[in-house]
A and B are shown apart, each in its own frame.
Chain A
Amino acid sequence: MKISRYWLFLLVGVILVGIVLMSPVLAQEKMVRMALKASDIRSLDPHFGTTTIDYACIDPMFNGLVRFKPGDIDPDKIQPDLAERWERSKDGLVWTFYLRKGVKFHKGYGELTAEDVKFSLEKAANKATSGFAADYSALDKVEVIDKYTVRLTFKSAIPSVLGILTNYHGGYIVSKKAVEERGDKFKFDPIGTGPFMLSEYVPKEKVAEVRNPDYFRGKAKLDRIEFWFMPDASSREMAFRNNEIDIVEGEREQAWVNKMRQVPGTTMEIFGPGELLVLFFNTTKKPLDDIRVRKAMSYAINVKELMTFLGPDVTEKLVSPIPMDYLGGTDKVPHYEFNPTKTKQLLAEAGYPKGFDLPMVMTEMSDYRRPMEQIQEQLRRVGINLKMDVITHSAYHEQIRKDVDPLVLYVCARFPVADSLLTQFYYSKSIVGTPTAITNFSHYNKIDDLIEKARVETDPNKQKALWAEAQVKIMEDAVAVPLCITKFVFAKKNYVDLGYDLKSTLTLSPNINETTDIRKK
């Protein structure tokens, strides 16, 4: 029988597909694949990485002089890392670190010495070579005492010296030789001392890392880790359900948590420090220049209702501008419990018995938009009409820094010390629209002295007392409404053993380290 050419061609095609389907499965490496809500990395140079995906990829490749206890960002539990011990002068201005011997950089870049530490810290403190230089503004000099000893001298005391030397942001130690050799290329081909080293970076797709055979804490249990860039939530979820991804970044919504709990073999990882949701009042814009109006709005917001809406599993109460588990956080501050009657009373006193309209920009990003829509409804009930103009996320960050909006909702996580939040959001030098602006959207300038005193205070109890006083003042002046903390939500396959209890992490995703392992599937 004569077979037409067309059907012959189709048959060949089907056979080809069959060959593809029968392709042997890749050799069984012990590998963990994590999918994150990101389009690409910004930088693998730890002194420039600022996004969740950057942190996730950077952390397994680098160490600091000290480190957070894995799974816990309590600053009181900081442990030795590349430094095995340290000494500090009585005034807290001179710190001497004694390095571990025999720590090797990846890919034959030699042993870690004090020169690398000096180079790394000077790099971290330099605006041209680090995005975190401001954290090191008090650092005066770094001296190499001998091959394994380095001395840091500060111009003035800072709230937490160990905090800026941890395995986070500018605290990561890089190879001096590799940075000098690779120049700009270091950003996408870095060299550290961590349990994993870079194997492959495919733009817009993934970063792959392989075990560092020379890691000083012993070989990692995993052969390989892959970080996949998957901004689409459905794709991430499908890949997780299909066992192509072992750990997946989720949506910070109760509905997602409940749905993923139904997937067999899944553990939910819900951890801190979480992101603070705070609503800032621009005290230079009418009618928010009137403290009665600000207090009225604070009484109008029903935080319990907001937290129920966002999800009880994914939110935590925030009563003060500084969370309780930050160093210096306190709950002994004035509260504005939900009280719409009081709202109406205060509005009437301020001359707005029927309420008023208020414009604001809002980002399309759901972490911001969803809670703000709830707040919009709550304010509407008391006659305050919020007119939200929804724009893209990067446009939002640009707009709010232009000091145009009377109201700004901000969602962020910071180093867990009161000073970081107080300085960035409530210090006069950080006021938006000024040359030294960071994120003081309220234009608040009434606690500068408390912030400055606390920064240089060497007695921890007095320091905490100053921070507490600052928080009380912020709440009394009603310049911001602390709403809640939304925790980070990841789903993990049961066969992935992180190797530690995950309570909180500054990488904002479950850390993969030398103790992470795959149990039998």
Chain B
Amino acid sequence: MLKYTIRRIVLVLPTLWAVVTVVFFLIRIVPGGPAVAALGSYATEESIKELEKKMGLDRPILVQYGSFLKDLCRGELGKSLITNKPLSAEIAKALPYTLDLTFGGMLIGIVLGIPIGILTAVKRNRLPDYVGRILSLVGISMPEFYLGILLMFIFSIKLGIFPVLGGGNFNVLSSRLYHLALPALTLGLIMTAFISRMVRSSMLNVLREDYVRTARAKGLHERVVIYKHALRNALIPTVTVIGIYMSILMGGSVLTEIIFSRPGLGKMMVFAVKDRDYIALQSVIIVFSSFVFLFNLLTDLLYGIIDPRIEYR
């Protein structure tokens, strides 16, 4: 397992390099540069050129690329082209909010999705199954920004329970959870739809297995059959999918952070694209990609723990 883990970690480096290289060149092809974005309508030709020189954008593109890779190897994410502030500090401030949102959404998805999946599988072709499947279809189809605005309208505007604005005071747990509730619910409900469908499908397969029939024949209570015998095996493919969903959730945080005006990496990425802040965009993508890798690795390792048949070499 250790050798496998180390090998996986080493293999991520060329993948990350490929991702960053593609982004580096792609964003520079698009017209509109950070100097114009920074100077706005007061931009004279002279001031644009001066700012581009200050930003190092007047150098040949390969020189810029080399310089970027060199800094990256030293662990430096660089400075924002717009604010000139070190990006590592900005990312360190934004990352916890995104992780909060991602884990919060996943927790809600698991807490609600697994029982719903079990219920729809056990009550197959009956009313709970039909209702569950329709709701999960709606959840999968609904874009998160629309769901976010809808939840905001109901729970904030009409009922006045939750705020619409900001991430709260991160150092105060109550404030942090209070501001997290609605955004996490937005992503969590969508995750619930995905997870419940996955669990339903797995449970239906598992409930047909011989050992389940045996367990019932032995006179075990139905709850024991489902939760002790069936669920553990049904969760194996679900765990795999949850790892992939974590990466999707991080991506889903982008629009959710904008709708709820929450700080976070997703918001940083969108604004970096808008402002043509190449360095910020590259840095955020590196961080995002690293977490995607981490989630995939953890999923693989967890898979091996849950299913003793799996052996990593």
**CA of A241 to CA of B165 in the docked complex: distance in angstroms?**
12
Note all chain A residues with C-beta closer than 8 A to B39.
50, 131
Stretch at the interface among B18-26, B40-48, B199-207: B40-48
Residue A254 is within 8 A (CB to CB) of chain B in the complex: no
Per-residue CB contact flags for chain B residues 164-176 toward chain A (1 = under 8 Å, else 0) read: 1111000000110
**CA of A437 to CA of B36 in the docked complex: distance in angstroms?**
14
Once A42-B82, A394-B37 are accepted as A-B contacts, the answer to whether A242 and B157 lie under 8 Å apart by CB is yes
Q: Are B274 and A395 in contact (CB under 8 A)?
A: no
Q: Are A412 and B258 in contact (CB under 8 A)?
A: no
Contact partner, B149, options A4, A131, A234, A436, Cβ 8 Å: A234
Stretch at the interface among B189-197, B245-253, B259-267: B259-267
Note all chain B residues with C-beta closer than 8 A to A132.
42
Shortest distance in angstroms between B50's beta carbon and chain A's nearest beta carbon? 7
Task: Among B45, B149, B161, B165, find the residue whose CB has the most chain A CB atoms closer than 10 A.
Answer: B165
Residue B302 is within 8 A (CB to CB) of chain A in the complex: no
Q: Are B178 and A235 in contact (CB under 8 A)?
A: no
Residue of A nearest to B259 (CB): A235
Once A20-B178, A204-B94, A230-B261 are accepted as A-B contacts, the answer to whether A394 and B32 lie under 8 Å apart by CB is yes
Q: Are A51 and B40 in contact (CB under 8 A)?
A: yes
Note all chain B residues with C-beta closer than 8 A to A434.
45
Contact partner, B174, options A10, A20, A436, Cβ 8 Å: A20
Note all chain B residues with C-beta closer than 8 A to A51.
40
Q: Are A205 and B263 in contact (CB under 8 A)?
A: yes
Residue A232 is within 8 A (CB to CB) of chain B in the complex: yes
Residue of A nearest to B47 (CB): A131
Q: Are B163 and A244 in contact (CB under 8 A)?
A: yes
Stretch at the interface among A11-19, A69-77, A374-382: A11-19
Q: Are A50 and B40 in contact (CB under 8 A)?
A: yes
**CA of A231 to CA of B260 in the docked complex: distance in angstroms?**
11
Shortest distance in angstroms between B165's beta carbon and chain A's nearest beta carbon? 5
Residue B275 is within 8 A (CB to CB) of chain A in the complex: yes
Note all chain B residues with C-beta closer than 8 A to A242.
156-157, 160, 163-165
**CA of A432 to CA of B36 in the docked complex: distance in angstroms?**
14
Q: Are A205 and B157 in contact (CB under 8 A)?
A: no
Q: Are B90 and A17 in contact (CB under 8 A)?
A: no
Q: Are B45 and A239 in contact (CB under 8 A)?
A: no
Shortest distance in angstroms between B287's beta carbon and chain A's nearest beta carbon? 15
Shortest distance in angstroms between A427's beta carbon and chain B's nearest beta carbon? 12
Q: Are A39 and B271 in contact (CB under 8 A)?
A: yes
Q: What residues make up the interface of A, taking CB atoms closer than 8 Å to B?
A: 4, 6, 10, 13, 16-17, 19-21, 23, 39-40, 42-43, 50-51, 127, 131-132, 134, 184, 187-188, 202-206, 228-232, 234-235, 238-239, 241-242, 244-245, 391-399, 401, 412, 432-439
Can you list 16 A-B contacts with CB-CB less than 8 angstroms, sorted by A residue number? A19-B174, A20-B174, A39-B267, A40-B271, A205-B167, A205-B261, A238-B156, A242-B157, A244-B163, A391-B31, A392-B32, A398-B33, A435-B45, A436-B46, A437-B44, A437-B46
